[in-house]
Amino acid sequence: MEFFETYHYVKTILTVTVFIMGACIGSFLNVVIWRMPNDESVVIVPSHCPKCGHGIKPWENIPIISWLYLRGRCSSCRSPISPRYIFVEFLTGLLFLVVWFHAWNLWEAGVHTMHLISLGGMINQMTLIAFLISFSYIDIDHKIVPDKLVLTGIIFAFAILFIWPSSHGLIHPPGELQFLRVKPALMFVIQWIAPIWPEILDSVQALSVIDAIWGGFVGFGIMWGLAFFGKMLRNKKEFHFNEPELLRLNANGYFHEQLFTDWDDTFIRDQDRMKITGTLKSTKLERLENRVGGIVTIELCGDGLISDDKIIPLNNLPEIELEATNVTIPLEPLGGGDATLMGMIGCFLGAGSIMFILLFASIIGAIMGGVFILSGKGRSYSSIPFVPAIALAALLYMFYFWEVYAIWASLFPSEAPA
């Protein structure tokens, strides 16, 4: 009886500790999400209110509790503090708990060879979760995947791997090639290396390093290939309206059917161009004032409106109203940032995760796009943040790895022990 009481006491203490640790890391992620896109230091500059510059005191920086105590407002200027802050802290703590409980339940079930049981496996997944949360919110806010953050993630992935080689799912050296059936993507590349370097099958660290490098290569390569060919096949969309449709352009973006699209979402690549042909209804742009009532063709790029070999910057663009008959809009099927992100995920989870994540990210992305359109907040050609879909698919892979392996083992049974 005393053993079970101690067991549950220890489990409770560890569970609370994991959640608190996750919430604290979530508090730091809020700083990363806000500062990284603005090229601000996430370490050197102390926490402060972005509105009034008030330095955040220690008691105002307690995850979750401080936001509730301050009722979501700055203690100095009383400006609202976004509920996102408390949500990110809670979400990070919750996802850390999921990793923890998943590992603990597997241990209780006697699944001692499962990679989630190792401390390295848990640290590996928790670290990746922290990066995925940061990337998701930065993509939602700014439609970018910062290269500095990707590089930092790759450094963390290899640092964890060298400290805990078992973080990639190999608790002990496999010894023979057939024992790698649990990691078929790694087995594929090792079968070419093993004849030349047979000792590799006796080193968990060497196999894990190859798994990370191969995972990064496969993740980046497949996503880059999809992005490259996607841009070749579908880099713009042309609309020809039977009845003229009203478009309004200003320094921030353009309105069409009462929906607003900003310029940052329109011009992602340097070569992107937007072309509009229609009847000019009104404008305060001096170069076009004498053409009001006539047919005009306006061409824009990321730098601004192109007029007589000169460019009028977008942030100086006065309002222009047209009844458009033809519109050409640039499209970005996939961004280069998505490719670097998949490469980073491959370094954390290995090459075996890539196809699973891509499949489910595509499904989740399609659902998100459908909801976006049905809610009236977007169109079929509108860009949507794809990183959250990748992050959700990566979570599915991490939390259901054992189920995926069980399906694989049932399809390809082997008499060799796993």
- Six-digit token pair at 58? 């220690």
Buried b / exposed e along 114-123 (16+ C-beta atoms within 10 A) = bbbbbebbbb
Ranges of the chain whose pLDDT falls below 50: 1, 112-116, 415-418
Q: Which pLDDT score, from 0 to 100, does residue 145 have? A: 85
pLDDT in tens, 312-330: 888 888 888 898 888 888 7
- Six-digit token pair at 321? 């109203």
Task: Tell me how many degrees the CA angle 136-141-143 measures, rounded to the nearest 5.
Answer: 75
Q: Which pLDDT score, from 0 to 100, does residue 416 have? A: 41
pLDDT in tens, 44-69: 767 777 677 667 777 777 888 888 88
Q: Which pLDDT score, from 0 to 100, does residue 218 have? A: 92
Q: Which pLDDT score, from 0 to 100, does residue 417 have? A: 38
Q: Which pLDDT score, from 0 to 100, does residue 418 have? A: 38
Q: Which pLDDT score, from 0 to 100, does residue 313 have? A: 86
